[in-house]
């Protein structure tokens, strides 16, 4: 397995692990993962919408950090917080 394929597989696993963790730890409305070929960030991407929160809660930041993901800037939408992170 080439290094780039292995890196892609590892990044996919990290993003999916973080997505599962967000479902379990945060009030999420939607959590979605996107492969690099479909992501505007050209990387494995986690896209989540959090309910009933202002800003990004510390437990979400913790899960993203544990997965080694990079938080991307996104504006809040009404009463929901949009979170995008990349591997």
30-66 confidence digits (pLDDT tens):
999 999 999 999 999 999 999 888 889 999 999 999 9
Mean pLDDT score of the chain: 90
Task: Give the tokens for residue 86.
Answer: 């990349």
Does 14 have pLDDT greater than 80? yes
Domain carrying residue 79: 3-86
pLDDT value at residue 6: 62
- CA distance from start to end of the chain: 19
| Alpha helices for 1-87 (secondary structure H) | 3-25, 58-66
Domain count, the chain: 1
Does 21 have pLDDT greater than 90? yes
């Amino acid at each position: 397995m080439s290094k780039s394929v292995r890196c892609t597989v590892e990044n996919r696993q990290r993003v999916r692990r973080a997505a599962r963790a967000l479902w379990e730890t945060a009030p999420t409305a939607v959590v979605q993962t996107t492969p690099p070929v479909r992501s505007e960030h050209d990387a494995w991407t986690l896209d989540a919408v959090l309910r009933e929160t202002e800003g990004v809660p510390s437990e979400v930041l913790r899960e993203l950090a544990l997965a080694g993901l990079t938080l991307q800037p996104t504006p809040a939408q009404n009463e929901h917080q949009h979170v995008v992170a990349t591997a």
